[in-house]
Structure 1
Amino acid sequence: MGIRIPKLFKSLSTRLLCLTLLWVGFIVSSIAWTMILNWELEASSAAKAAVAELRTRAYQSAYATQEMFDGKMLEVEFSRTVRLFRTLHEGDAWQPLELPNEAGFTESLDEIEKLWRTEVQPMLLAARNTRTDVDGALISRYVEMVSGLMSEIESWRGGYLWQLRYLQILLIVLAIGSLFAIELLLLRWVIRPIGALGEGINRLWSGDLKARVSVGSEDEIGRIAQGFNRMADRLEDFYENLEQKVAEKTASVEEKNRHLAQLYEITSFFSQQRSLEELTDGFAERIVRYTEADACLVALVDSKSEYVNIAASCGLNAVTLQRSASISYEDSVCRTVIKKNYPVRIIFAEDRRMLPTVLHEAGFSTGYCFQVRSTSDCIGTYILLFREKAELSSQMIQLLESFSTHLGVAIDNERLIDRDRQYAVIQERQLLAQGLHDSIAQALSYLNLQVQFLTDAINHKDDALRDESLKAIQTGVQECYEDVRELLLNFRERLHNEGFLQGVRTVIDRFEGQSHVSVRLKATGDGPKLTPREKLQVIFIIQEALSNVRKHAQASSVTVTIDNQADLTVSIVDDGVGIDQALVEERRSQHVGLSIMSERASRIGATVDVERASPLGGTRVTLHLPAASRQIC
């Protein structure tokens, strides 16, 4: 049995990492061992020097006992000797300095220190104090002991030096051997496999599609070799079936291009504003042409009443179309497709529902039914009809689903546009009704009252009342005529064709021509321009305020102030009789003019305030459009 290699070590990167870690560990441990030996040698060398200094200190101490030196010199030498003994005992790792870590060296140092403390140092003190000669024999014995310790240290250092030399030789041998081992491993793991892979690539590049690389391992290079072999197999297969694959790819590209052209055509068709009938009829015709189907039936569903409406058809005769339109929602195919929420293929001969039966009797065999979805809901279905058995590809089905979504969005947009159009008509009618009520209706009510007065005056032959009523009727008719002209001018205006200040000036000129009241316009500020919607509403509010001045204020002058900063503030102040604030608040709901101004202001996020200009009279109408509500273009 072969050795089973763990799965982890089948990876080349793992093996190279382990090899690198081993090599680095070997180098680091060798360096660490060498550093330890060097440290020991340096420490022992420093210890030897310190021991040699003990000998020097002994001679210096003996010399200091002479009469020519004072006692301080001897004390200094004693203290230096004590420090040397302490240093030798304790060691100093930072110098480094340390006696060899063996019992014999410590014992020798203890004997030397004992001899110094018990005999040499007392003898030197006595020689100094009694002025006698130093005992040379004792000094010589002390020095011999110190020299013996130095010789022991030197001998010990010599052994360490030989050990260091042996270690260095061993490291050199191991380093050379490890290099050869690493080269052999790299040759086996990396160089030879890569060389074989490169040779296979060169053969493949030269046109040999049969080139393969033998896979001898399960590591990264082995997987690359497997990938190379699979690539070579694929290239050989491509080369042998190139013509067929080119034809397949060309057909696929042509189909995609055709689908893109169809999608672009139907998108362009839906982008133009069309009626619902035009949208559905055009869609049915194009779908039949795109799919080469025999017919198409488009049905819209009212989700609330569950009523099916046949919106368009193509390729169906009148009888079949009439029979299809009479089928209820419960019996239709639409219900099934809407519930399943995905396209459904129907074999009409196998389906017993009414619509499949009608279509089968009309000569159709197969149908594909798709949902027509708007942005939020299903609004109908369309069915592609084939007289022969047909199979649509998945790409075509996806394209047809996209077409159905485009149709649903187009129908939804057309309905929204129609709804907006109806809302705009209703809104304009409301504005027209408000204008008529605030002007002509009130004038006609006044004229009706004066006609009643005139009738009473004629019946009672009251000439004064008759003349007064006729004059009032004439004045009322004239005011009614001016109101009609003002309304006509309002409805004919095109404010978006002129600037804001120009539009305000047009309204002021017309007011001055009707009322013969002078108006002063002040415009300041360089704030953002008004949008067409804001401009329209602001000018209509100014126009309504001036109309109220003409009807009620009895003013001789008006000042219109426009301050266009970040906020827009418009003020219309007259010098007329003034407004009764309490009466305005009481009748605010009945005063159409004030209501119109408030409604127009609310549409653009503004506010309108009406107040008395001063205690003496006059009225101030203030329009305030804050910066937060402005639609800056």
Structure 2
Amino acid sequence: MITCTLWLSWRLEGAGAAINDTGSLRMRAQRIAVVLLQPAASSKQRRQDLQLQLDAVAHTLQGLAVGDAQRPLLLPSHEAIRTQFKAVESFWLQVALPAAEHANETGQSQTYLASLPRLAELTDTLVKMIEQDNASKTTVLRAAQGGLAVLAVLGTIAMIYLLYVWIIAPVHKLRDGLQSVARHNFSIRLPVETRDEFGVLATGYNQMADELEDLYKGLEQRVTEKTQQLATQNAEISILYDMAAFLNQPSDIETMSAGFLQRIVGLFDAQGASIRTLDRERQHLSLVASVGLSQALIEEEHCMHVHDCHCGSVAMPGKKLIVIRDVSQTTDFLSKGKSNDINCHREGFSSVAVFRISARENVLGTFSLHFTGPAELPDSGRRLLESLGSLLGVALENRRLEAQSRELAVVQERNLVAQGLHDSLAQGLNFLNLQLQLLEEAVVHQKQAEIDEILPLLRTGVQESYQDVRELLTNFRSKLERGDFIAALEDTVKRFRRQTSMQTALDVQYGQGAPLAPEQQLQVLFILQEALSNVRKHSEAQSVQVRVSNDRDFTMSVRDDGLGYDSAEVSERGDAHVGLRIMRERAARMNAHLELAATPGKGASVVLRLPVQERIAA
């Protein structure tokens, strides 16, 4: 109906334009008459004006005949109207137009003027017929609009009713159901009457009510179970925390392993336990600690192959733990020729649980629990024992790394000691050996002058060697405690003053920098001792200045006014120079920079710089 009203409106608009164009025919016909009645003196202008009016009439008739949908211009399609339009068009073409053209050529306009009343009559009749057609269409349009209003009212009423039935009523039911759930009444169920969204919501509500009803019925039991689970987990966390705290305490491996076994035996009510470490190359297990095992069993199993016992099978790839309820029935793992009488079974143990000791995916050994009755280990207990095995593995690995670190430190320090002996005492003894050979040759040949020359050299060499020994002993005994770094620096400088006649100044500016770690302080002290020793042996200086600055970076410098040296010559000799290699190695151990500078005849300097990013927290 909306489409019909739009079409009628479009037709009425086009018919209105047709009425306007038809009425304009009368006006243009009268203008033609006015043009024909103009004086003859202006005949040229009259002919131009006449042609314009004739063209306008022709264009209007053409538009009425064809129409224009864009304008719109539409002549009603009624047969009588079309016939009347043909009459108007025919009269114009056959009567009025020839008369106008004749009057234009001869100046006689009576014939055209006589045709005007008939043309006006035909045009008026066409206009009235179009108006009557428009009036009938207007009536139809009003009726259609009235029908639309009625349909709108009826449709609104129908939509309100359908919205209530389809949406509002189901929403109210769902609201009532949710209110009942909020009151902890889970017995109400919604009827599922449709398959639309509300049907899905009703189904979901019913499922929710069923699940909530089941949950509330067993809520107390579930709360109890969850509480027990949380208590178990908290107990496991507490056990792991206590065990980690114990394993991190300083102790040897045997003491740590024994304490570990005593704790897990009490936790799991085991009658015996043992820890064995793995030798990967020999594929042997060594018994480190045990609880509840007889001395005979300990002696027999202190070292055995991994295939000779249940404890070894866990150390092999593929298994992390085993729990055997009856050890007397499991002999298929034994090595060829091994007796089927299992040792732990002879001890009165019927069940055994073995777990792997590992650190960073490396198997370090196994630990086992022995029971006189059937072993009952839940999954949580097995997981806890696996975690304890990992903690024990990390602790064992840390102990081994600490031992290796101590061994490495001893090796490094021995290397420095050897370097110190070689660079100082060994060279002095070599010099004395050469001088003794020369002395022996001079005595044989009785060269008194050479003997007198060599003896002072021997005396000086012995004194220097003795002084080197005293310095080395002093360096080896150096040990710093927290807070005595400055005192150690002052003692080193005072000792240097006593050993030499050089004027030695110490300037310590500790600034706002953080204190050095004890191990870094010790390295700084060793470098200072070595630098002063080189000054005493080689510089022949009159004064020495030692400056220590502890700001953002730590800096220590030792400068003298002695003979100096040729830096290029020292660089060519490399690490063979006395003392320099030792200082460089000590500086490298603390990630510090060591700068050596000298000018022949103008002294030398040693500067040690420790950047702030290389400091170790004290």
> Could you say which TM-score interval applies, normalised by the shorter chain?
0.7 to 0.9
Where do 1:113-132 residues align within 5 Å? none
Mapped to 1, the partners of 2:563 and 2:595 lie a distance apart of 18
Within the alignment, does 1:263 sit opposite 2:249 as a pair? no
Secondary structure of 1:248's aligned partner: helix
Mapped to 1, the partners of 2:93 and 2:592 lie a distance apart of 110
Partner of residue 97 from structure 1, selected from 72, 82, 90: 72
Within the alignment, does 1:412 sit opposite 2:397 as a pair? yes
Tell me if structure 2 keeps the 8 A contact 1:545–1:572: yes
Within the alignment, does 1:398 sit opposite 2:401 as a pair? no
Q: Relative to 1, partners in 2 of residues 1:215 and 1:552: Cα closer, same or farther, differing over 3 Å? A: same
Tell me if structure 2 keeps the 8 A contact 1:517–1:558: yes
**1:244-276 Cα distance to aligned partner (Å, 9 max, x none):** 445434433332332232222212222323321
**1:434-493 Cα distance to aligned partner (Å, 9 max, x none):** 223222322333334444455556666666545544433443344345444544555526
Between 1:73-82 and 1:278-287, the stretch displaced more is 73-82
Between 1:467-476 and 1:138-147, the stretch displaced more is 138-147
Mapped to 1, the partners of 2:471 and 2:148 lie a distance apart of 113
Match of 1:306 in 2: 283
The Cα of 1:179 is off from its aligned counterpart by: 4.8
Match of 1:579 in 2: 565
Greater Cα radius of gyration, structure 1 or 2: 2
The Cα of 1:311 is off from its aligned counterpart by: 2.2
Secondary structure of 2:373's aligned partner: coil
The Cα of 1:419 is off from its aligned counterpart by: 1.4
**1:23-74 Cα distance to aligned partner (Å, 9 max, x none):** xxxxxxx877766665555455456545555554554565466649966877
Within the alignment, does 1:341 sit opposite 2:319 as a pair? yes
Match of 2:576 in 1: 590
Between 1:41-50 and 1:257-266, the stretch displaced more is 41-50
Where do 1:13-52 residues align within 5 Å? 38=9, 41-42=12-13, 45-46=16-17, 48-49=19-20, 52=23
Secondary structure of 1:330's aligned partner: helix
Mapped to 2, the partners of 1:441 and 1:281 lie a distance apart of 49
Secondary structure of 1:385's aligned partner: strand
Match of 1:357 in 2: 342
Letter in 1 for 2:373: E
Partner of residue 296 from structure 1, selected from 252, 273, 276: 273
Secondary structure of 2:381's aligned partner: helix
Mapped to 2, the partners of 1:360 and 1:531 lie a distance apart of 59
Match of 1:272 in 2: 249
Letter in 2 for 1:350: Q
Where do 1:36-185 residues align within 5 Å? 38=9, 41-42=12-13, 45-46=16-17, 48-49=19-20, 52-53=23-24, 55-60=26-31, 62-63=33-34, 67=38, 91=68, 93=70, 96-99=71-74, 133=109, 135-139=112-116, 150=127, 154=131, 157-158=134-135, 161=138, 164-165=141-142, 167-169=144-146, 171-172=148-149, 174-175=151-152, 179=156, 182=159
Mapped to 1, the partners of 2:526 and 2:129 lie a distance apart of 119
Secondary structure of 1:388's aligned partner: coil
Letter in 2 for 1:548: N
Secondary structure of 2:287's aligned partner: strand
**1:380-430 Cα distance to aligned partner (Å, 9 max, x none):** 222222222233222222222222111111211221122112112222222
- TM-score scaled by length of structure 2: 0.76
The Cα of 1:351 is off from its aligned counterpart by: 0.9
Within the alignment, does 1:476 sit opposite 2:461 as a pair? yes
Mapped to 2, the partners of 1:464 and 1:418 lie a distance apart of 59
Match of 1:24 in 2: none
Structure 2: unaligned runs, 5 residues or longer = none
Tell me if structure 2 keeps the 8 A contact 1:67–1:131: no
Q: Relative to 1, partners in 2 of residues 1:199 and 1:459: Cα closer, same or farther, differing over 3 Å? A: same
Secondary structure of 1:369's aligned partner: strand
Tell me if structure 1 keeps the 8 A contact 2:307–2:313: no
Mapped to 2, the partners of 1:59 and 1:160 lie a distance apart of 32
The Cα of 1:577 is off from its aligned counterpart by: 4.0
Secondary structure of 1:384's aligned partner: strand
Letter in 1 for 2:281: K
Letter in 2 for 1:272: Q
Mapped to 2, the partners of 1:41 and 1:547 lie a distance apart of 123
Secondary structure of 1:339's aligned partner: coil
Mapped to 1, the partners of 2:13 and 2:552 lie a distance apart of 86
The Cα of 1:346 is off from its aligned counterpart by: 1.0
Tell me if structure 1 keeps the 8 A contact 2:278–2:285: yes
Match of 2:534 in 1: 548
Tell me if structure 1 keeps the 8 A contact 2:15–2:76: no
Between 1:137-146 and 1:560-569, the stretch displaced more is 560-569
Q: Relative to 1, partners in 2 of residues 1:333 and 1:92: Cα closer, same or farther, differing over 3 Å? A: same
Tell me if structure 2 keeps the 8 A contact 1:203–1:211: yes
- TM-score scaled by length of structure 1: 0.74
Match of 1:599 in 2: 585
Letter in 2 for 1:97: P
Mapped to 1, the partners of 2:515 and 2:20 lie a distance apart of 100
Within the alignment, does 1:434 sit opposite 2:410 as a pair? no
Secondary structure of 2:286's aligned partner: strand
Tell me if structure 1 keeps the 8 A contact 2:560–2:605: yes
**1:282-312 Cα distance to aligned partner (Å, 9 max, x none):** 2211212222222222222122321101222
Secondary structure of 1:264's aligned partner: helix
**1:88-110 Cα distance to aligned partner (Å, 9 max, x none):** 768474xx534369698999989
The Cα of 1:131 is off from its aligned counterpart by: 6.7
Secondary structure of 1:383's aligned partner: strand
Tell me if structure 1 keeps the 8 A contact 2:247–2:256: yes
Give percent identity, aligned residues only. 34
Secondary structure of 1:396's aligned partner: helix
Q: Relative to 1, partners in 2 of residues 1:514 and 1:626: Cα closer, same or farther, differing over 3 Å? A: same
Letter in 1 for 2:74: L
Mapped to 1, the partners of 2:425 and 2:227 lie a distance apart of 76
Within the alignment, does 1:385 sit opposite 2:370 as a pair? yes
Q: Relative to 1, partners in 2 of residues 1:326 and 1:585: Cα closer, same or farther, differing over 3 Å? A: closer
Match of 2:428 in 1: 443
Secondary structure of 1:334's aligned partner: helix
Letter in 2 for 1:297: S
Within the alignment, does 1:253 sit opposite 2:230 as a pair? yes
Mapped to 1, the partners of 2:380 and 2:610 lie a distance apart of 55
The Cα of 1:229 is off from its aligned counterpart by: 3.9
Mapped to 2, the partners of 1:577 and 1:454 lie a distance apart of 30
Pairs aligned (count) = 598
Tell me if structure 2 keeps the 8 A contact 1:558–1:575: yes
Mapped to 1, the partners of 2:238 and 2:288 lie a distance apart of 26
Mapped to 2, the partners of 1:120 and 1:554 lie a distance apart of 146
Match of 1:283 in 2: 260
Q: Relative to 1, partners in 2 of residues 1:513 and 1:206: Cα closer, same or farther, differing over 3 Å? A: same
Mapped to 1, the partners of 2:117 and 2:136 lie a distance apart of 29
**1:205-260 Cα distance to aligned partner (Å, 9 max, x none):** 55555433444455554454445444444554455555544543443333233223
Mapped to 1, the partners of 2:55 and 2:102 lie a distance apart of 17
Within the alignment, does 1:374 sit opposite 2:349 as a pair? no
Tell me if structure 2 keeps the 8 A contact 1:297–1:313: yes
Match of 1:319 in 2: 296
Q: Relative to 1, partners in 2 of residues 1:565 and 1:385: Cα closer, same or farther, differing over 3 Å? A: closer
Letter in 2 for 1:367: V
